[in-house]
Amino acid sequence: MIIDNEEQKPNSKTNRIITKDSVKMRANQNSFRPSEEPILGFRDFFPYPEFRPNQERVIGQLSESIALGKNSILIATNGTGKTIMALSAALPIAMKDKKRKILFCSRTFTQNARVIQETRSITQHFARIGISQTIGALSLRGRNEMCPHKTIQRLQLPPSESMSVCSQLRKNKRCHYFNNLLKKRKTAHFQEEMKNLASIPLDAQELIEFAEQDDLCPYFLSKFLMENEKIIVCNYQWVFEPNIRENFLETIGCELSDCIIIMDECHNLPEMANGINSYRITPFTLRQAIKDLELTRATYNLINFVKFCRDLLSKLKDRIEDETKFDVPKFIQNILNGNHLKSLRELKDLLDDLREYGEAINQEKIDQGRTPRDYIAPIVSYFTKLIQTIDDPAYFSCFTSKYSKRGKTIALELKCLSPRYITDPIFKESFATLSLSGTLHPYTYTHLLGLHESGKTLKIVKMSPPFPKENVKVLITKYLTTRGEDRTPTMFRDILSALVPIIRNTPKNVGVFCASYEVVEGLWREGFADIVKKCKKKPFREEKEMTASDNDILLEQFKECSHHEKFDGGVLLGVCGGRNSEGEDFPGDFMNTVVIVGIPFQRPTPSGNAKIAYYNKIFPGQGRDFGYTVPAMQRSNQACGRPIRKMDDKGLIILMDFRFRHYRNFLSDWIKREMRLIPFNLQLLEQEVKSFFSVPLYNRRYRTENYLKKS
C-alpha cells in the first residue's frame, strides 16, 4: 500500500497538530524498556512489515557504502521508497557516533515533510517493538518563511538582507517574538520543552505552530534545536552555498567530515551549483547604490565608479538583445580608464573602500531604525569575482536584456559553467554522500561533478521499476515535431489534431508539457482551449509570469476536475522544466496521461554555446551531450514521471516529437522499456489510448477517492 508519491504506508496515524501536550506525548512514546538486543543495522530501522522487491538488497548495499565513507548514487523510479531506503541505510551509521549528523537536502517543503514523516514511522516502529531509542529530526525553512514579524513578511528580501533587517530588529529590541524567546530560554520549563522537541521528528510547519502558541520566534527556536538533532532536513543552499554552510555548520556544532549528506532529486545539482556561483548587477541596484552613496556624502571616486557602471549599461540598453558576450580584459580596461585608475591593484583598492563604505552605510541604517537594504555588496562581489576569474574559461561574462511590464532592462552577468567549484567540498570533505534520483543520467552526473576524482570510492546502485509493465505505455509519434523551422501554424494544428483522440479517450486528467512557452503559445493560439472543451474537459494554462500562489490555485482546480461532476477531467498545458512538470505530483486520476510536445532543448545562446565548448575541452567530443542534450532529456524524463507516483498508477506517456527516438539512450530505463514508435494516424492513436485504459472507470474512481481520503 502507498500513502503518497513513493513512500510506504505508515502502520498508524500521526497527530498533525503540535501542542505542548502532544510534544510530551511523542517524547514519552520512546520511553519503553530497553531492547534485549542492540540495534545492529538497517533492518532495525526499516519500519514496515515487509520489504518491496529489491528494497532489502539495495538498502544493505547503501548502508555498507555509507559506513565505508563512500559517495553513493541511487537511481530508482517513483514507487521504490527512496526516502525510507536512504534513512534506513544512513541511520545505523549516524547513530553510532554522537556527533555525526544526517543532512537531508531537498527542494520543496513537501519533500521535507516526507522525510519527517518517514522518521516518525521509524520512531513509532521502535515503540511497537520495545526499543528505547529517540531520533531527533527537524526540517528547516528560510528566515522569510519562518519569521512571523510583519516587517520581514512585508519586504520578502533576499536572505542576506533579511538577516540584516532581523539583526536590526533584534538589536533595537523591536521584535517581541525574539524577546519572548530570550526570556523563556532561561527557564527550566523551557529547557525541558526543548529536550522534548529535540527528541521527536518535527516538521518546520509544526515548529511554527508550536512557537505561535507563546509568540516565540520559530526561526531562532529552530536554531536552538539544531545542535541536538540527528537529522536536519533543509534546502540545498544550506549545505552548498559556502557562506550559508559555514554559519550552518557552526550552529549545528559539527564539521563536514561529521556529516552524511543525502541529496534528493540530485539531477538538479549541477545547474543549482552553477547558479550559486554566478553573479549579476542590474541598473536598479546601481541606482539605489548611488542614492545611498550620495546621501551619506561618499567620496567622489566611489560615487563616480558606480555612476560609470550605470551610464555604461544605459548606453548599451538599446544595442543589446537577449545575451551578448563581452571581452573581460577590454571591459576592465574600460572601467580603469573611465575611473582614472592605472592598474588592477588600484581597482581592487577601490572595491575594498566601496565594500567598507557599504558596510558603514548599512550600520548607519540599522542605527537609525531604517531597513538595511544593501545595494553595494552585489556590485563589489561581481567585480571582485570578475577580476579573480579574468582568465578562467569556466566563467562566461555577458550583457543580458529582457522585457518586462516596465519595459526593457539590461544587466551585467558573470555565469559559472563548472559546478565543481561549489560541489567539490561536499563530495571530498563530508563523511559520506548519497545522491537520489529517478531520472539521473549517471555518466554525466559523475563526470560533471568529478566524483571519480573526489578521493572517495563511488558506488552506483540502480533499482528496477517496481510497477507492472502493463501499467505504463510509452508512444513516440512519427512526423510531429517542434524543431525550430517546423514551428508553423500547420504543425501546431497537426499536434492539436493528435491531441483530440488522446484527450477524448483518457478517463480523467491529462498533462500536456511543451518544449517552451513559445510552443504553449502556438498551441493556445491555434485553438487548444476549444478542442479541450469539445472533449468535455476543462482547459488550464500555465503562464510564464504566474506567481506561486496563482499556480497553486490553478493546480487545485485542475486536480478537482478528476472527480468533478460537470467535466470529464481537466487538461493542463505547461512547459517541461517548469514547476508543474518537475515539482508537482499527480497520482491516481490527477493525471492519467502525459503528453510531451517537443524536446525541451534550451534556445541557443552565447552562454549555452560557451558551456558546450567548455565541456568539449574537458570531455572531448561530449560537450554537446553534457551541455545541451542531457539537460533537455532530463527535463523530459521528469515530465514523463508525473502520472506514475504510486504502485497502482496507470500512466500513458506520449512523446510527441519523432526526434525522441534518436535520443532514446538519454531517456530513463523505465521509459525505454515500454517505448514504441507509431505513425501519425489519428485512428491508430485512438485505438492505442482506448486499449490502454481498458480498466473499468469505477475502479479508477475508487483509487482516486481512496487517495484523497489518505491525503
Q: Tell me, what's the pLDDT at 364?
A: 85
Three-class DSSP labels, 280-337: EECHHHHHHHHHHHHHCCCCHHHHHHHHHHHHHHHHHCCCCCCEEECCHHHHHHHHHH
Please state the φ and ψ torsions of residue 398, each to the nearest 5 degrees. Answer: -160, 160
- Return d(Cα 88, Cα 538) in angstroms, integer: 43
If residue 672 lies in a helix (H) or strand (E), which one and from where to where?
helix 669-673
Q: Tell me, what's the pLDDT at 11?
A: 40
Q: Tell me, what's the pLDDT at 318?
A: 87
If residue 477 lies in a helix (H) or strand (E), which one and from where to where?
strand 472-477
Alpha helices by DSSP H, 96-241 = 109-129, 143-146, 150-155, 159-171, 176-185, 188-197, 204-212, 218-226, 236-240
- Return d(Cα 374, Cα 157) in angstroms, integer: 10
- Nine cell digits for residue 598: 517537443
- Return d(Cα 636, Cα 654) in angstroms, integer: 11
- Return d(Cα 170, Cα 93) in angstroms, integer: 39
Residue where the block lists cell 476549444: 530
- Strand pairing partners for 458? 71
Q: Count CB neighbours of 142 within 10 A.
A: 16
- Nine cell digits for residue 67: 559506513
Q: Tell me, what's the pLDDT at 513?
A: 97
DSSP state of 174: -
Burial of 469 (0-12, 13-18, 19+ CB in 10 A): exposed
- Nine cell digits for residue 132: 528505547
- Strand pairing partners for 260? 102, 432
- Nine cell digits for residue 133: 531509542
20: Cα within 13 Å, side-chain hemisphere: 10
pLDDT mean values, one per 10 residues, the chain (711 residues) = 36 46 54 44 93 92 97 90 95 94 90 93 91 90 87 77 80 88 87 86 91 91 91 95 92 95 95 95 95 94 96 92 94 96 96 94 79 88 96 96 84 97 97 94 95 96 84 94 94 97 96 96 96 96 87 93 91 93 85 97 94 96 95 94 81 96 91 91 95 62 40 37
What angle is formed at CA 59 by the lines to CA 56 and CA 62, rounded to 5 degrees? Answer: 150
Give just the sign of the alpha carbon dihedral 136, 140, 143, 147.
Answer: negative
- Return d(Cα 67, Cα 436) in angstroms, integer: 17
Sheet holding 407-416, edge to edge: 279-281, 407-416, 395-404, 323-325
Closest CA to 673 of 77, 3, 115, 42: 77
Contacts of 353 (CB under 8 A, 6+ apart): 299, 301, 302
Closest CA to 482 of 597, 581, 604: 597
Q: Tell me, what's the pLDDT at 684?
A: 96
- Return d(Cα 603, Cα 618) in angstroms, integer: 23
- Return d(Cα 561, Cα 627) in angstroms, integer: 39
Contacts of 458 (CB under 8 A, 6+ apart): 70, 71, 72, 73, 446, 451, 452
Burial of 130 (0-12, 13-18, 19+ CB in 10 A): exposed
Domains of the chain, earliest start first: 40-275+422-462 (3.40.50.300), 281-416 (1.10.275.40), 469-710 (3.40.50.300)
